[in-house]
Chains A and B, each alone.
Chain A
C-alpha cells in the first residue's frame, strides 16, 4: 500500500491578477448599474412626492378634479396683517380684499399657476393623435416599400442612411422646418389667396394657395410626425423582416399577388410590433417641446380648441346646416393653436418667478405627464402581449 500522498489541490485558484481583475470588473459594472437605478428612482420619487399631492387628495373623489379639468389661470395670493395667506383666482381676490378691508397687507399674482392644466392635456392629446396618425401612415407605407418592394442596392442604402440621419436631427431643427413648411407654406384651399401666399393655383371653384396652415394642431402634429417617423420606419421595418420568409413564399406559391401577400400574410403578423413602436412614438411625440414651439403651442390660451364663437344658427336652420356646423366645429379643432404639456412645463419653469406657489403647478404638470407616458408604455406592453398570443408562429 502506497502511503496517501498529500498532493497539492489541483483546483486551487491561481493568484495571478486574473481573479482580482474579475472582481474589480464585476464591482465596477455593479456600481454603474446601481448609480443608474439610484438616479432614476430619485427622480421618480422626487416628482411623485411633490406632484402626487397636487393631483390626488385625501377626500373623495381622491383626484384633484380642479387640477385636471380647469384651464390654467393666474393665481392670486393675498396676505393679511396676521400673516395668513389666501390663494384664489381673479374674482376671489376682489371679494377677499373687500372682506379683509383694512386687514389687507399684500397681494401677489403668479401667472399660470392657478386653475388646472386641462388646456395643455387636451392640446398634447390632439397633437399626439395627429402626429401618430400621420407618422404611422407614412412610416408604415415607407417600411413596407423598403422591406417588401425595394430591391437591395445603392438606392435602398441611401434611403436607410437618410432615415438614420433624420433620427439624428435636433428637434429644434424640426421645429424650424415645420414653421417653414407647414405654418408658412403648406397648401390650403381658399377663395382668395392671402398676401403671404407663396404661390396659388386657381382651380376654378376654389384656389389652391400655398399660404401655410398657421400655428395650429395640424402644423404641430405634422412636424411631430417627422420627429417620430425614423423610429416608426425603423421599428416597422424590423417587424416586417421578422415575419418568416416562408409565409411570403407560401402565400405567393398559392397564387397571391405581392400586395395580397403583404395584406394577409405579412402585415397582420407585424402589426403587434408596429403598434408597440408607435406607442413608444406617442410618448416621444408627447414629450417634445422644440418642434411645437413655433408650429402649434402657445404659452397661454384661455379657451379649449372647440370653444369657438361660431355665429349662432338661425332658429329655423336645417338639419344640414346644423350638421355642417358640427363638422366645421370638429375640423376647426385641428386648425386652432393649443397649449401643450411639455411647453407648459417649460413656461412654468422658465418664464415665471419661482416660488412655492409656482412649484405646485410645475410638479403637478410633470407628474400628470409622467403618469400619461407611463400608462402609454404599459398599454403598449399589454397590447403586444395580447396580439402576440393571437398571432404566434
Chain B
C-alpha cells in the first residue's frame, strides 16, 4: 500500500501528532504532544511507567475509544494529512490501515488459521482460497509458517508465548496495514523469543511504519531509527535513536536512559 502513495518529498511525515491533549475523564494524561513519525521508520516510544506511551499509541488507531472515559481534549492526530478524529473518518477502515499488537499476546482461542485470517473474515472475505493464501503470506511474513504449517487447524493457544506473539503480528499484517503499532510486544516474552521478534521487525522494516513502545533501552537501540522520550504526559525529546542515547539534549532524557530516573 505504501508503494501506491510514493512520498512526494520524503519530508512529509506519515503520522503527525499536533498539540495533542488527552484525558481519562478529568484526569489529563497527555499534554501538548507534538510528534512527527516518518514513513517506513521504526519509532520507539520510551519513558517511565504511566507517562502516557500506551495512551498515545492507542490513540493512533483509536482503539482507546473503547475506554469509556477516554477523550481527546484538544489537538489532532493526522495520518497522511487526514485528521483521524473527524467524523468523516471511519474507524473500521482506519484500523484496517493501522494494525496493532498488544503487550499480552492474546490470540483468540481458535485455530491458528482462524486467528491469521480474522481481520479478513470480518472484512467480508469468504473465498477459502484467498483466505488460505493470505494466511500463508502473513504467517510467512511473521516467520511462523515453518513452525505451524502442519498444524494450522489446531488451537492457537497451544503455541508457545513467542509463537503466539508472532501469530498476533501475522494476524495484524494479514490486513496489509501501512502502520504497525506495538505496545511492549516483547514484555511477556523470554530473551530468545524477544530476539526473534526483533529479528522479525528488522525483516519487516521498510514495508511498514512501526511505532513501538518499549521499556527496554537496549531494544530501542537495536531496532529503532527514531526514539521519542516521554515524561509525565509530555514529549521531552525526539530524535535519531543514536542521538537520543549518545547525546541527549535534555537532562531528563539522560537521567532516564542512564537509569537514574524511573
Contacts and interface: CB of A to CB of B under 8 A. Distances in A.
Contacts of B178: none
Interface in A235-253: 244, 246-253
B171 to A, nearest CB: 7
Interface in B65-88: 66, 68
Contacts of A253: 61, 63, 95, 99-100, 102, 172
B121 to A, nearest CB: 8
A38 to B, nearest CB: 43
Most chain-B CB neighbours within 10 Å: which of A151, A247, A252, A253? A253
B92 interface: yes
Interface stretch (A12-20, A185-193, A254-262): A254-262
A264 interface: yes
A260 B109 contact: no
A260 B122 contact: yes
Interface string A366-393: 0000000000000000000000000111
Nearest to B121: A264
A354 B96 CA distance: 74
B175 to A, nearest CB: 6
B118 A254 contact: yes
Interface string A19-43: 0000000000000000000000000
A269 interface: yes
Interface in A203-257: 244, 246-257
B157 A255 contact: no
Contact of A244 (B61, B106, B172): B106
Contact of A255 (B102, B119, B168): B119
A156 to B, nearest CB: 11
Contacts of B102: 246, 249-250, 253
Given A247-B106, A253-B61, A265-B108, A392 B157 contact: yes
B108 A250 contact: yes
Contacts of A250: 100, 102, 106, 108, 168, 171
Contacts of A247: 106, 108
Given A248-B66, A249-B63, A260-B122, A254 B95 contact: yes
Contacts of B172: 253-254
Given A246-B102, A246-B106, A265-B108, A257 B122 contact: yes
A152 interface: yes
A391 B104 CA distance: 19
Given A269-B109, A391-B109, A251 B100 contact: no
Given A246-B106, A250-B108, A253-B100, A264 B63 contact: no
A185 to B, nearest CB: 40
A265 B110 CA distance: 10
B89 interface: no
B68 A254 contact: no
A391 B110 CA distance: 8
Interface in B13-51: none
B118 A251 contact: yes
Nearest to A152: B68
Contacts of A248: 66
B157 A254 contact: no
Nearest to B171: A254
A256 B122 contact: yes
Given A392-B157, A393-B157, A252 B63 contact: yes
B138 to A, nearest CB: 12
Contacts, number: 66
Interface string A272-314: 0000000000000000000000000000000000000000000
A152 B68 CA distance: 8
Contacts of B99: 253-254
Contacts of A260: 122
A391 to B, nearest CB: 5
A254 B95 CA distance: 6
Contact of B122 (A151, A249, A264): A264
Nearest to B93: A255
B68 A151 contact: yes
B109 A254 contact: no
Nearest to B106: A246
Interface string B171-189: 1100100000000000000
B175 A254 contact: yes
A260 to B, nearest CB: 5
Given A249-B63, A393-B157, A254 B119 contact: yes
A252 B233 CA distance: 26
A392 B95 contact: no
A255 B96 contact: yes
Contacts of B171: 250, 254
B135 to A, nearest CB: 14
Nearest to B95: A255
Nearest to A248: B66
Contacts of B61: 253
B195 interface: no
Contacts of A251: 108, 118, 122
A256 B92 CA distance: 7
B123 interface: yes
Contact of B109 (A151, A249, A255, A393): A393
Nearest to A264: B122
B175 A255 contact: yes
B144 to A, nearest CB: 17
Q: Which 10 A-B pairs have the closest CB atoms?
A: A254-B119, A256-B122, A255-B96, A246-B106, A253-B100, A393-B109, A255-B95, A260-B122, A253-B63, A255-B92
11 contacts: A244-B106, A246-B104, A247-B106, A251-B118, A254-B119, A256-B118, A256-B119, A260-B122, A269-B109, A392-B157, A393-B109
Given A246-B104, A249-B66, A254-B118, 16 more contacts: A246-B106, A249-B63, A249-B102, A250-B102, A250-B168, A251-B122, A253-B102, A254-B172, A254-B175, A255-B92, A255-B93, A255-B95, A255-B123, A264-B108, A265-B108, A392-B157
